[in-house]
Amino acid sequence: MAHMDVPPPDVAELLRLAADVRVNAYVPYSGFHVGAVVVTADGQVFEGVNVENASYRLTTCAEQTALVGRATTGNRSPVVAVAVVGDGDTPATPCGACRQTIYEFGPDATVHCAGAEALDARLDTDIRGLLPEAFGPDRLDVDVTGR
Ligand code: THU
């Protein structure tokens, strides 16, 4: 986990939180529930679920919901960890769009993935591994610290 201003949370606990919130997903089309938890360097935790739409492409992923929730509160502390849990026993990994969004707010974030029926069979990685050669703020010479 990237550097935090407070003691880091337990990853197993983050995955449990993501699994718990996952049941609130609005998924009448796919039936695939996803819960995500985002942790910031100041120790705050933001939860999200996937929210689908009859116009399929308007679906919002759980990770996006959590990251938008963080911004909405005014929190500008860097994202240091993301936990994602989907249905079943196979880890739910972030889609490409979510990887880009995670990178925007947490280029040093660790990413932890699991399936709700097998939280111990988790995948622990980081956003740089999931999104090699990422295009980010630095490529545009913008420092987004605190923005
Ligand atoms: N989904 C997420 O919420 N996060 C991801 O990173 C992968 C996919 C959701 C979108 C859709 O509601 C369902 O999973 C099936 O694709």
Q: Hey, CA dihedral for 122, 126, 129, 134, is it positive or negative?
A: positive
pLDDT digits (tens, 9 = 90+) for 109-128: 999 999 999 999 999 999 99
Atom 10 of ligand 1, residue of closest alpha carbon: 61
Atom 1 of ligand 1, residue of closest alpha carbon: 61
| 47 part of the active site | no
In terms of DSSP H, where are the helices of the chain? 11-22, 62-73, 96-105, 127-130
What is 11-133's CATH superfamily?
Cytidine Deaminase, domain 2 (3.40.140.10)
Atom 14 of ligand 1, residue of closest alpha carbon: 32
CB 80 within 8 A of CB 102: no
Task: Look up residue 110 and give its two tokens.
Answer: 């660790």
pLDDT at residue number 88:
98
CB 110 within 8 A of CB 75: no
pLDDT at residue number 5:
87
Task: Look up residue 38 and give its two tokens.
Answer: 């985002």
Whether 126 is in the pocket of ligand 1, judged by its Cβ within 6 Å, is: no
* Whether the predicted pLDDT of 43 surpasses 90: yes
Q: Which of 63, 104, 117, 133 is catalytic?
A: 63
Of residues 77, 80, 87, the one with CA closest to residue 25: 87
Give the integer Cα–Cα distance in Å for 114 and 16: 10
Least confident stretch, 3-12, 81-90, 133-142: 3-12
Classify strands 45-49 and 110-115 as parallel, antiparallel or unpaired.
unpaired
Q: Which atom of ligand 1 is nearest to the CA of 98?
A: 6
Task: Look up residue 76 and give its two tokens.
Answer: 């500008």
Domain locations along the chain = 11-133
